[in-house]
Structure 1
């Protein structure tokens, strides 16, 4: 029995979904952990030769570097994944991320290594960004290519739970070590969550090695219809790639503003570190629940209606979220992050993954999904903390401009989704140009 004929069975499908969920959890644990630590620690240990304000800006710049590297990872892993298969690229991305994150945990600080400390930190952050650039697209489309059309949105959404789960896990581990005395935390305690990445890497590889390649890709390889240069094929239709990038733009901006930027902002208005970290846990839990609900809904009413509604709702809550955090009240911060921001953010994030996978042909799908998403991640998530800091300063400490920026990003996503065709239930083997819009009945 060939790998292609085994792929549709229940056991390989469950293995693919679990592997994708675990892989995304590990990747985002590592990637988002860096964002929180950059706001709490790196400005004090790796940029001690700078003033506090400049050090914070420099720390957020290294955070942005990881996002800038993500399209590179998406392009490299996407090209190789479209040419040689999804599974080997997913194994490679996991190894790169695990090794880079573990090495961050043993980096010398500026006081020990001088200027080499921030240089090495930036290099390892680049490696993290490249790894995430390959992981997200690969795990998303592998799940999409295995899943039955009627449940594709939900099953791809389960894989997307790795984002909030990774956020919750990284925050929980960091919250535990932050209970240490300040001196111990700054000396070695912050390193523990990064060193924990080594154990996660071993677990992730154990699961991922058992995953089978998708039947959709195997058919493409057998028919020899793979593209020699997938990116060139996509560039010939730039509107498709640009529109796909903005499907998820509002979610990436919100995710960055409610994580890395929010830590710095909330600290500035007097909210304690433990309260902030608990708020991030609520944010991750709220987003995760919303992801499952929204992806299941998208399988019934379509991707477009679900995503447009989520984007508009997220734009509407932008100002209340930052106004509540700005009061300095921890309870209001928990409500803002867990009940206001998280549900529409999760509802915009997860169904976008299925829409992206359904928007590209098999021969360019890994490249299209990866580059499309990671381009949005750079413009949105990577620059959002820096833009947020600048807008907050421009507003004299009033977050109204930050909220307007978040709302505008969400409206851009709504317009992009509105301009796209409905893809729910699309046959992923058929070319996009030849595939009619498909409307599934509730019995599908």
Structure 2
């Protein structure tokens, strides 16, 4: 009998040990799942962006006027951004009401299916007006999917993170942007080396069709992650928000400031990574393959700068890193654009790379900064709305406005540099306002210890 009890105790201890080990592995697994998932989402999104810059104009919007063709192509690119707030609201509601994980499984599937379908579309020459119409519909679905992905991925990693490491873990969702860009540029770089006729007829489709393989990998990894501990705690305590959007809109000043803080992290990336492809190839007549090769090296730089910036921010303060990055961003376009105009692979890589240091450093830590502004019960909806409304305006319109400036002023570049500096300045102002607000809240909270934890704001600007 004693032996039986001993065996039972041993088994119980073993099960408890295994359970603790499994729970201990969850933060890393959640960070990996967020990284892989956002990599797939952004690979799909950037693939469309790259195709919009070099393929979709002549294939889906043919015409004699280069500007109108480019604007039509970038217009469909912008449509995906305008759909992102809808995705943020839809999947934010699901994430705040039903769980972060469930929402993320849906966004991943929707994005991959939409992207593969784009790779199967007929062109305007094959199907007439139905071709661009279908392209617009699929771009809308892409926008809805990515609109729900970002907030959930940041929360899945951040809310699983060990104490004191939330900024670093949340940054893994941001890394997906850089790695997705790398994969997209690799795919299109390889495809663009085909003879032009082959590339324009079928080569451009391959990067889109490859998304089905990425979906299978991402789905398996994401399925292995538990639900967010903070969501489970809210569910257990019956603290789930009945109407997350209504509660979020009550914090409208904070929401507007969060939107402004996100502007540079989004607009800067789409200026450098998307518009610069068009500017270099269409307005400076640089070799397409050389430009894509330069962008690949820049994307690799972006990945490592993001990782390093998150580590630095965790140790020395998120607001401080954001401030330094934004100040550098105000200056850098006056260096970047003249270097790109020199037209060599080295000058293009250096010019865009200098801007990328600011952009990727800022983008890496803005998620942790903004996330901590809102209570956990509305956090998915709030950060998704802030990020995706900003994405619709700053991301969707930046290539369009920059193209109009290039058409008007090229080969001059000062107007484009001022445009870039203006959105960096806006974000700098918002970050400093939010940082002062959080410092004031922390000072007030010293007389009421634990009040921020009770409000659900367990990781934010001041906490980092």
For residue 158 of structure 1, report the CA deviation from its aligned partner.
Answer: 2.2
Tell me whether 1:413 sits opposite 2:427 in the alignment: yes
Match of 2:305 in 1: 290
Tell me whether 1:103 sits opposite 2:108 in the alignment: no
Tell me whether 1:336 sits opposite 2:381 in the alignment: no
Match of 1:326 in 2: 341
Tell me whether 1:129 sits opposite 2:143 in the alignment: yes
CA RMSD of aligned residues (A): 2.2
From 179, 198, 201, give the equivalent of 2:193: 179
Structure-2 separation of matches of 1:50 and 1:214:
53
Structure-1 separation of matches of 2:96 and 2:289:
44
TM-score by length of 1: 0.94
Where in structure 2 are the equivalents of 1:273-288 lying within 5 Å? 273-288=288-303
For residue 395 of structure 1, report the CA deviation from its aligned partner.
Answer: 2.3
For residue 107 of structure 1, report the CA deviation from its aligned partner.
Answer: 0.1
Structure-2 separation of matches of 1:263 and 1:78:
33
Q: How many residues align?
A: 437
Structure-2 separation of matches of 1:427 and 1:159:
28
- Segments of structure 2 that go 5 or more residues without pairing to the other structure are 1-14, 443-449
Note the alpha carbon deviations across 1:43-98, whole angstroms, 9 max, x for none: 01001146322111100100111111111101110011100100011000000000
| More deviation, 147-156/356-365 | 147-156
* Pair 279,227 (structure 1): closer, same or farther in 2 beyond 3 Å: same
Match of 1:430 in 2: 454
For residue 210 of structure 1, report the CA deviation from its aligned partner.
Answer: 0.9
Tell me whether 1:47 sits opposite 2:71 in the alignment: no
From 333, 346, 362, give the equivalent of 1:348: 362
Structure-1 separation of matches of 2:432 and 2:368:
16
Tell me the SS of whatever aligns to 2:342: coil
- Structure number, greater radius of gyration: 2
Structure-2 separation of matches of 1:226 and 1:61:
38
| More deviation, 98-107/268-277 | 268-277
Match of 1:246 in 2: 260
* Pair 172,6 (structure 1): closer, same or farther in 2 beyond 3 Å: same
For residue 301 of structure 1, report the CA deviation from its aligned partner.
Answer: 1.7
For residue 428 of structure 1, report the CA deviation from its aligned partner.
Answer: 7.8
Kindly indicate whether the alpha-carbon contact (under 8 Å) linking 1:68 and 1:129 is maintained by their aligned counterparts in 2.
Answer: yes
For residue 245 of structure 1, report the CA deviation from its aligned partner.
Answer: 1.2
Match of 2:287 in 1: 272
For residue 394 of structure 1, report the CA deviation from its aligned partner.
Answer: 3.0
Structure-1 separation of matches of 2:459 and 2:91:
27
Structure-2 separation of matches of 1:127 and 1:209:
22
Tell me the SS of whatever aligns to 2:202: helix
- Segments of structure 1 that go 5 or more residues without pairing to the other structure are none
* Pair 345,437 (structure 1): closer, same or farther in 2 beyond 3 Å: closer
From 317, 320, 326, give the equivalent of 1:305: 320
TM-score by length of 2: 0.90
| More deviation, 280-289/88-97 | 280-289
Match of 1:367 in 2: 381
Where in structure 2 are the equivalents of 1:255-266 lying within 5 Å? 255-266=269-280
For residue 142 of structure 1, report the CA deviation from its aligned partner.
Answer: 1.2
* Pair 8,421 (structure 1): closer, same or farther in 2 beyond 3 Å: farther
Tell me whether 1:232 sits opposite 2:256 in the alignment: no
Match of 1:143 in 2: 157
Tell me the SS of whatever aligns to 1:271: coil
Kindly indicate whether the alpha-carbon contact (under 8 Å) linking 1:145 and 1:428 is maintained by their aligned counterparts in 2.
Answer: no
Kindly indicate whether the alpha-carbon contact (under 8 Å) linking 1:146 and 1:215 is maintained by their aligned counterparts in 2.
Answer: yes
From 193, 205, 208, give the equivalent of 2:222: 208
Kindly indicate whether the alpha-carbon contact (under 8 Å) linking 1:318 and 1:341 is maintained by their aligned counterparts in 2.
Answer: yes
Structure-2 separation of matches of 1:129 and 1:370:
13
For residue 38 of structure 1, report the CA deviation from its aligned partner.
Answer: 0.7
Kindly indicate whether the alpha-carbon contact (under 8 Å) linking 1:358 and 1:428 is maintained by their aligned counterparts in 2.
Answer: no
Kindly indicate whether the alpha-carbon contact (under 8 Å) linking 1:7 and 1:13 is maintained by their aligned counterparts in 2.
Answer: no
For residue 397 of structure 1, report the CA deviation from its aligned partner.
Answer: 3.4
Match of 1:189 in 2: 203
* Pair 143,435 (structure 1): closer, same or farther in 2 beyond 3 Å: closer
Kindly indicate whether the alpha-carbon contact (under 8 Å) linking 2:31 and 2:172 is maintained by their aligned counterparts in 1.
Answer: yes
For residue 141 of structure 1, report the CA deviation from its aligned partner.
Answer: 1.0
Kindly indicate whether the alpha-carbon contact (under 8 Å) linking 2:368 and 2:460 is maintained by their aligned counterparts in 1.
Answer: no
Note the alpha carbon deviations across 1:115-137, whole angstroms, 9 max, x for none: 00000001101111111011111
Structure-2 separation of matches of 1:66 and 1:233:
26
